Structure 1
Amino acid sequence: MSTPVTASADALHRAATRKAMLRLIPLMCLIYLLSYLDRTNVSIAKSQLAIDLGLSAAAYGFGAGIFFLSYALLEVPSNLAAHRFGPRRWIVRIAITWGALSAAMMFVRGETSFYVMRMLLGAAEAGLFPALMYMITLWFAQEDRSIAVGWVYTAPALALLIGNPVGGALMQLDGSFGLHGWQWMFLAEGVPSILVGVLLWFKLPERPHDARWLSKQEADLLTARAVSSGTGGGHDASRITLAMLKQALLKPFVTLIGAIYFFNQIAFIGLIFFTPAIVQQMHVKTPLLVGALSSAIGVGSVIGVLGVPRIQRWLQRDCLLLGLLTFGLIAGSVLFLLVPTLVVRIALLAILAFFGKGVLTLYWTIAMGRMQGFGAAAGLAFINMLGLIGAFVGPYAYGLAESATGKASSGFFVAILASVLGLVLVPLLPAALRRADAEASQSQRTSARVMTADSPVV
C-alpha cells in the first residue's frame, strides 16, 4: 500500500528539486561570480600596479593573499551570524558592503593602502560561500547536493573564464578621464555587486516555506528530505555555547578535510593570482591577449566543476577520487616546469584548473552529509576558514618565489610542495569518515531507544 505513495512522493520531490535548482542556483551563481571577479581582478592589474604604485612581486602577493586572511578570521563568526539572522539577510549585507569596497579599490595609492583595502574587502566578503553552502543544506537532499555545489562552483570558474578577458579590456581604458585602466576595472566590476545584492533581497527565499513558487506539499518534502540527510536539525542559535562550538569544529574528519583544502588552496589560489604574470613572461605583450590566454584556467575550471561531480557519482569512492585529483595537480605542475612550449603550457594551465577547481566540490559534499544544523553552519565555515588561510599563504609564497628567481613560473614549486603535503593526508580521511558515520549511527540508535522508552503504552 505504501509503494505508490512513496513513488508519488519521490516524483513530487524530484519536481520540487528541479524547480528549486532553476530558481535558486542562478542567483547563487550570479552573486558568487561577482564576488570572485572582485577578489581576483587584481591579478590582471599586477603589472600596471607595479608601474603606477611601485608594488614588488612580493608586495603584490602579500596584498593579494591578505584578502583571504581577514576573510578567514571572520569566516566562522560570519557564518554563525548567517545561522542566527538567516542566510538571505547575511548574503545581501555581504554583497552590498564588498561591492562598495571593491569599487573603492580605485583609490589605492601605495603598498599600505593596497593592504588595507584588500583586508577590508576580505572582511566584508567573509561568510559568503559557507552561507551559500548552508542554504544548500536547507533546500536539497544529500544525493542532490553534489550537483548543486557543482553548479555553484561554475560561478568562480566562469569568473576565471570571463574575468581576465573583461579585465584586460577594461585595462585598455587607461588614461580615459584621467583614470588608470586598473581604476576603471575596479569601479566597473564593483558597482554590479551592490545592485545584485539589492536584487537578492527581493528574489532569494531563505527556506522552502518562504518560496511563493512552491506549493506547501513541495516545501514540506524539500524540508523533510533535507532534514533526513542530516542537516535539518540543530541548535537554537540563541543558545549556542562554547562546548557546542568545540563539538562542531573538533571532529577529526572536519579537521582533515580542512587541512587537505588548506594545501589545495595554497597551490591553486596562488596559480589564479599569478597566471597573468606567468602568461606575460611567455612573451605575451598586450593586456587583452594576456587576459585572453589566462582564461585557460577558466576553461579547465568550468569542465572540472561540472565533470567531477558526475565522476564522483559514477566512481562512488570519494577519497580515491580526492587522491587522484590531488596527484593530478602535482603531475601537471611538474610538466609545466619541464615543457617550455607556449601552446602546451596554456593547455596545462587548463588541465591544472580542472584538477585544482574540480576537487573543491568533493570537500563540501563529503562534509555536508555528516553535519547538521548549527554543526553545518560552524563546520562548513571552519573548513572554509582553513582553506582561506591557505589562500593567503599561496599568493604570498608565489610572490616570494618570483622575487627570488625573477620568474613567475617559480610558483609551481610551491604548488608541487603544497599538493604533496595534501596528498599525504588523503589516506587518513577514510578512517575519520568511518568513525563519524559510526558515531552518527550510534546517536540515531540511542535516540530511537529513548523515543521508544518515552512512548506511552496503549
Structure 2
Amino acid sequence: MDTTSIDHRVEQLHRVATHKAMLRLIPLMCAIYFMSFLDRTNVALAKIQLAADVGISAAAYGFGSGIFFLGYALLEVPSNLAAHRVGPRRWIARIAVTWGILSTAMMFVQGTSSFYVLRVLLGIAEAGLFPALMYMVTLWFAPHDRPVVVGWIYIAPALALMLGSPLGGALMQLDGFGGLHGWQWMFMIEGIPSVIVGIVLFFAMPERPRDARWLSAAERDVLETHAVIDVHGSAEYSSANWIAALKRPTTVLIGLIYFLNQVAFVGLYFFAPAIVHQMHVDSPLVIGFLAASVGLGFLLGVLILPRIHRRVNSDCVFLGVLTAGLVVGACVYLAVTTPAARICLLTVTAFFGGGVLPSYWAIAMKRLQGIQAAAGLAFINTIGLIGGFVGPYLFGMAETSSGRSDAGFTVILVAAVLGLALVPLLARAIRGEDRVESSHEPAAQMKS
C-alpha cells in the first residue's frame, strides 16, 4: 500500500473520530457554558428591580456587574494550571457546583455590600471555566478543527443571552409569589440547574481521547496524534516552561485585543435590557424579548464567522475586518434615533462583537500546546476578564453622567477603534514568531 493511500485512510479515520468527539463533547461543553453565562448575566434583567427593592444605583450596578470579572481574573491562571494537574473534567465539575450554589445565593442580596460580595465570590467560583474548556479543545481537536469547535461552544452563551432574557423576564413575573421578589425567583430557579449539570458532566465527560470508551483504539490514537502536534511540529512542553507562554508577544497582544472587545461586548449585554427600557418599554417580559436581539446577533456571529475564518488564509486580516465591523455598527447606532433601527443595530453590534470571539481563541491555540496552552489561554482570558470589569463600569459611569444607558455605545466605539489599531501589531508579532520557529527547525533537524 503506497504512502498516499495510507495518509488518506488516516485522514478519513481522523474525520470520523473527530465527528464522534464533537457529537459527544460539544453538547456537554455547551450545557456547562450555557449555565455559566445564564448565571452571570441574569443580573442584567434585575437591574431596575434591584434599584427599586434594595437601592442599588446604576453606578453601583455597573461596578457590581463588572466586579464579577475581577474575582474571576484573580484566580484564572492558577485555576487552569489546577485543571492541567487534576484534569479538566474534575475541575470543570467542581467549578459548576460551587458557582451554582453561589448564583442561587444571589437571591439573598440585601443591598450594595452584599451585592458586591456575592458577585466577587461568583467570579472566584467560576474562575478557570472557559480556559479549561479551551484547554480540553487542545487535547481533543486538531488546529484546523478548533475554530469550528470553539464556534459551537460559543453558541451556548449566545443562546443564554437570546433565551435567558425572555426566560428571566418570565420568571420576574413571579414577583410577590411566595413572599419573594421576581428577581429572587429568577436567581434561585436559574442557579440550581448549574449544580445538576456539573454533577452530570463529572460522570459523562472523559478527560482526553485515551479515556473515551466510545472510541476505538485507532480513533483514540489518531485524535491524540493530531491534537498534540501543533502547526510548527512541536509536541508537548515541559511544565518548567509554562511561564514562557505568558511572555510571548502574540499572547499579550491577543489578550489586549480581547480586553478591548470585552470592554465593548460585556458592557453591551449587561446594559442591553436598560437600553431597551429607555425606549419606553416597561414590561419585563417585553424587555427580555427585545434585549434578546443581542443574543441573536451573537448566535449568528458564532455560527457564520468561524466557518468563514476556516477558509481565510490571513488570521489578522479576518480579525481586522470583524473589528472594523464593530466600529461601523457603533457609529451607525449613535447616528440613528429610531427604536426599531436601534434594536436591529444591537443585533449587528453583537454579531461582530461576539462573533469574533472564536477567532481570538483559534489564533491563540495555534501557538500554544500542553502546559503552555493551560497557562497561556488562561492568561489571555484573565486580561479579557479585566475588560469584562471595565466595560460595565464605564457603561455605568456613562449612564450616570448622561442619564441614558445607550451612552455606553461611545465606550463600544472607542474600545473597537483601539482594538483595530492593535491588529497590525499582532500580525507583525505572528510573522516574527514564525520566522524564529522556521530558523529553529533546520537546527533541530541537523541535531536529530
Establish whether residue 377 from structure 1 lines up as the match of residue 374 from structure 2: yes
Structure 1 residue 311, shift from structure 2 partner: 1.5
The residue number in structure 1 matching 2:421 is 424
Instruction: Give the alignment's TM-score, normalised by structure 2.
Output: 0.98
Q: What is the CA–CA distance in structure 2 between the aligned matches of 1:446 and 1:82, rounded to whole Å? A: 34
Bigger CA drift: 223-232 or 145-154? Answer: 223-232
For 1:388 and 1:440, how far apart are their aligned partners in 2?
Answer: 30
Q: Partner amino acid for 1:278?
A: I
- Residue pair 2:90, 2:202 contacting (<8 A) in 1 also: yes
1:12-65 CA distance string (max 9 Å, x none): 110000000000001000100000000000001000000001111000000000
Does the residue aligned with 1:229 lie in a helix, a strand or coil?
coil
Alignment equivalent of 2:348, drawn from 351, 355, 363: 351
Cα drift, residue 235 of structure 1: 4.3
Partners of 1:441 and 1:70 lie apart in 2 by: 40
The CA deviation at 1:410 is 0.5
For 1:402, the aligned partner's letter is E
Q: Which residue of 1 aligns with 2:384?
A: 387
Structure 2 match to 1:326: 323
- The two structures, once aligned, show a CA RMSD in angstroms of 1.2
Q: How many residues align?
A: 446
Q: What does the per-residue CA deviation read over 1:255-299, in whole Å, with 9 as the maximum and x for residues that have no partner?
A: 110001101100110000000000000001100000000000111
Partner of 2:133: 132
The alpha carbon displacement at 1:310 in A equals: 1.4
Say whether 1:442 aligns with 2:439.
yes
CA distance in 2, matches of 1:373, 1:142: 13
In 1, Cα distance between the equivalents of 2:384 and 2:100? Answer: 23
Give the CA deviation at 1:444: 3.6
2:92–2:132 Cα contact (<8 Å) kept: yes
Q: In 2, Cα distance between the equivalents of 1:104 and 1:235?
A: 41
Question: Map of 1:14-93 to 2, 5 A cutoff?
Answer: 14-93=15-94
Which deviates more, 56-65 or 322-331? 322-331
Q: Does the CA contact (< 8 Å) of 1:266 and 1:392 recur in 2?
A: yes
Residue in structure 2 matched with residue 228 of structure 1 by the alignment = 229
Match of 2:300 in 1: 303
CA contact (8 A) 1:334 1:416 kept: yes
Contact 2:144 2:310 survives alignment (8 Å) = no
Q: Deviations over 1:101-132 (max 9, x none)?
A: 00000011000000000000000000000000
Gaps of 5+ in 1: 453-458
Give the whole-Å Cα distance in 2 for the aligned partners of 1:116 and 1:256.
Answer: 32
Report the alpha carbon displacement of residue 11 of structure 1 after superposing the two structures with TM. Answer: 0.6
| Letter paired with 1:324 | V
Q: What amino acid is the match of 1:363?
A: Y
Report the CA distance between 1:439 and its aligned residue.
Answer: 2.6
Gaps of 5+ in 2: none
For residues 330-374 of structure 1, give each alpha carbon's deviation from its aligned partner in whole angstroms, at most 9, with x where no partner exists: 211121122111111111000001000011111111110111111
Matches of 1:215 and 1:447 in 2, distance apart? Answer: 34
Q: Match for residue 456 of structure 1?
A: none
Alpha-carbon deviations, 1:159-183, whole Å to 9, x = none? 0110100000000000110010000
Q: Deviations over 1:136-165 (max 9, x none)?
A: 000001111110000001010110110100
Task: Name 1:170's counterpart in structure 2.
Answer: 171
Q: For residue 394 of structure 1, report the CA deviation from its aligned partner.
A: 0.2
Cα distance in structure 1, aligned partners of 2:234 and 2:246: 18
Letter paired with 2:84? H
SS for the counterpart of 1:314 is coil
Match of 1:269 in 2: 266
Verify the 8 A CA contact 1:61 1:398 in the aligned structure 2: yes
Is 1:252 matched with 2:249?
A: yes
CA distance, structure 2, for counterparts of residue 173 and residue 311 of structure 1: 43
Tell me, in whole angstroms, the C-alpha distance in 2 between the residues paired with 1:22 and 1:303.
Answer: 21
Calculate percent identity across the aligned residue pairs. 60
Q: State whether structure 2 residue 195 is matched by structure 1 residue 194.
A: yes
Letter aligned with residue 147 of structure 1: V
Taking the aligned partners of 1:373 and 1:52, their CA distance within structure 2 comes to 49
Match for residue 124 of structure 2? 123
Output the amino acid matched with 1:436: E
Q: Are the counterparts in 2 of residues 61 and 395 from structure 1 also a CA contact under 8 Å?
A: yes
One-letter identity of the residue aligned with 1:300: G
SS in 1 for 2:310: helix
